[in-house]
Structure 1
Amino acid sequence: MPLPNDYNYTPVIALISSPRLASYGAAFKTTSDDELYGVYVWSQHAASALYPLLQNLEISLRNAVDQIAKERFGEFWWEHIRCTEQPEDNNFYQNIKKAKLSLTKNWNKLEKRRRKGGIKAQQVPEWSHDQIIAATDFSTWHFILNNCFSAYHPADNVHYLWPKSLSKVFRNYASINRDQKKVRKDLTDLLFEMREYRNRVFHHEPIWAKAPDVNDAVSSIGTIIIKIEKLEKLIGAIEPRLLKTMQMAGFFKHARRVCSIKELNIYKNRELVCELTSEQKNTLYPHCMASMERNETMFWQQDNLKFGLHLIS
């Protein structure tokens, strides 16, 4: 959290690539090493706050599509739905193929170890539906929304995934666009944007959007808030109850709190300390000490609201 400004950060900064740190300094207008490293640490905490939002979107989308498709077409539903493209030319089918190859590759590694242990060689197993689905990546569930999986004529709806399954996979699609003929394109565009953003966050790239008008802390953090809003909208389109559950769990409030100027300034050691009276400090002191000694959050409830206190520096 707050970093001392009288510490020598040069050896630490030397271990981080200059081009990477330069983008932080340029975007957040840092003026010292402690500010620069503070921004870098803040961005890691901000990324960790975004992780559950991205993870819930990916998993809920995957399972929503898979559950409905399995109900309509059977366990290995991708072998039975119609598609206007050949499998070898289609990204979704290629991802299913990659998932199977990944399972086989990992199995072969384990098989080599088993053989060294004297265990008799075994054949590669037939991968189950659940194993294949679990081995797919986010892009698989973006590609399945493509037009090639949608019927052009109502008489063919029974053979295609879309548009018949749209309202069951995206239970609240109207929150994106009430026009069912246009909403799949809107969903595809949003999911592509979030998939690209997910890759940036998970691959330790800067989590703000780079653009000519993004040139300071306010505008940089503003681009992150826009991503949070879009994640909220997409998750709500898939399942409003999941969105409500995540809101009750505080995921979105936490992300917005961490991804803020006030929180950034704490990491830069530039935020003003909250002034407390002596009486308030004396009341809090034993709880602060207990939290520090146990390295845990002190938790209490006030008017049906939950609060926590822990050491940050």
Structure 2
Amino acid sequence: MHPPSSEFEQIISKPRLDSYRAYWKVDPDGAVGLYIWNGEVCAEVSKLLAYFEIALRNNIHREMSLATPLPTPAGVMGTSASSAWWNASSIGAQLKPGTKKKITDVINASSVRLGPDEIVSRLSFGFWPNVLAWIAKSRTPAMYKILPGHSLSQPGALPNWSDAAARNSALAEIFEMKEVRNRIAHLEPLWKFPKVMDAVTQKVIVAPASTNETSTMDRFARLLRIYDDAVHALSPALSSYMKAASWRQRLDFLLSRKGVARYQGGLHVPNGSPLGTRALHQEFATVILNNRPVKIHDVGGEGLFIPL
């Protein structure tokens, strides 16, 4: 069992736990379990977002480098899959001061000279959706290579990236993931979703704010759909891998009714003595029914079996 609510309140604060009690309609101990559940969900979503961030920045960096001739060491103009494209006069004059400052800050923070790849790797997640929005508007043809799997990038697609409304709607979903990343970084309840307005008119509600468990799960399902679509747009191969990854399967469990019930009931903490492998085999149906991890052991040592 997790720590009792009376002790946990001293760590987390009573108002924070009370928000869980009111929203999920649970007792104090159930609120503690759901607080821990939210942390687990955030951890798994963070893993997914990390892969998305890396793929997004690398696709942008590669395509902007290849599309921007810069002087080579030999003094002639050339292209490379990794160059300081932000130094090109045609780009530097168009980038916002805040964008250029973030690059400068990374360079100045290092005691050694950084190459383009190193600079790119040290820029924050929030940097890239803003740059992508600038590319979409100012260098639209590059979007077809940065997001080759996107529906707007397909041959003969109508609408495509040249359509401002379709472009803005597509970018809005990228910015939704940026907002999720920010909420995780600030330790906010990930299950408390704000409403989403239409990216073009800002007058139509695309997704209502979550108000209970059902609407929260609906919004999580929408978030995962947006994530899957965005990763597929960057790389269909990566998308297939991510859907099959163990952490994605664990996230799917956490967002199931059974996953929520495990944490709400404090069943995420193993209880009792370790089971031998034979006993686990004999009691497997009961372990699954109890919806609780169990310790196991054999001649090789101890481990943990977590039913999904």
**TM-score normalised by length of structure 1:** 0.71
SS of 1:164's equivalent? helix
Which residue is equivalent to 1:156?
none
SS where residue 37 of structure 2 aligns? Answer: helix
Tell me the alpha carbon deviations over residues 262-307 of structure 1, each in whole angstroms, 9 at most, x when there is no partner.
2111111188xxxxxxxx967345996327994435xxxxxxxxxx
Cα 1:96/1:150, change in 2 over 3 Å: same
8 Å CA contact 1:217–1:261 kept in 2: the answer is: no
Q: 1:184-214 CA deviation, whole Å, 9 max, x = no partner?
A: 4233211111101111113211102145852
Structure 1 equivalent of residue 303 of structure 2 = 296
Letter in 1 for 2:133: N
> 1:19-34 residue pairs with structure 2 within 5 A?
19-30=15-26, 32-34=27-29
Identity %: 20
**Which residue in 2 is equivalent to 1:95?**
102
Q: Supply the AA of the counterpart residue of 1:145.
A: L
Kindly state the Cα deviation for residue 249 of structure 1 after the two structures are TM-superposed.
Answer: 2.1
CA contact (8 A) 1:246 1:252 kept: yes
CA contact (8 A) 1:176 1:186 kept: no
Q: Please state whether the residue corresponding to 1:296 is helix, strand or coil.
A: strand
Paired position in structure 2 for 1:283: 281
Assess if the C-alpha contact under 8 Å between 1:292 and 1:311 holds in 2.
Answer: no
Matches within 5 A, 1:199-238: 199-208=182-191, 209-210=193-194, 214-238=210-234
- The answer to whether residue 133 in structure 2 is matched with residue 146 in structure 1 is yes
Contact 1:85 1:148 in 2 (8 A): no
* 1:61, distance to aligned residue in structure 2 (A): 0.1
Q: CA 1:251/1:236 → structure 2, altered by over 3 Å: closer, same or farther?
A: farther
Gaps of at least 5 residues in structure 2 are: 69-78, 196-207, 268-277, 285-293
Aligned counterparts of 1:35 and 1:140: Cα–Cα separation in 2: 38
Matched, 1:77 2:85: yes
Superposed, which structure 2 residues align to 1:13-24 within 5 Å?
Answer: 13-24=9-20
CA contact (8 A) 1:68 1:169 kept: yes
Aligned match of 2:199:
none
Q: CA shift at 1:71, angstroms? A: 2.2
Q: Which residue of 2 aligns with 1:256?
A: 252
1:132 matched to 2:132: no
Please, which runs of 5 or more residues in structure 1 have no aligned partner? 108-124, 152-161, 272-279, 298-308
Q: Residues of 2 paired with 1:292 and 1:25: CA distance?
A: 44
1:291 and 1:310 in contact (8 A); partners too: no
Contact preservation (8 Å) 1:190, 1:230: yes
Q: Residue 262 of structure 2: SS of its match in structure 1?
A: helix
TM-score under structure 2 length normalisation: 0.72
Matches within 5 A, 1:44-123: 44-73=39-68, 74=79, 75-80=83-88, 82-83=90-91, 86-87=94-95, 89-101=96-108, 103-104=109-110, 107=111
- Count, aligned residues: 257
Cα distance in 2 for residues equivalent to 1:251 and 1:285: 26
In 2, the alpha carbon distance for the partners of 1:61 and 1:189 equals: 15
Distance 1:206 1:254 in 2: 19
Map of 1:190 onto structure 2? 173
Question: C-alpha displacement at 1:228, in angstroms?
Answer: 1.5
Q: Which amino acid aligns with 1:181?
A: S
SS in 2 for 1:43: helix
- TM-aligned CA distance change 1:283 to 1:194, over 3 Å: closer
Tell me if structure 1 keeps the 8 A contact 2:295–2:302.
no
Q: Is the 8 A contact 1:214 1:220 kept in 2?
A: yes
Tell me the secondary structure at the aligned position of residue 146 of structure 1: helix
- 1:181 equivalent in alignment to 2:177: no
Name the amino acid aligned to 2:151: A
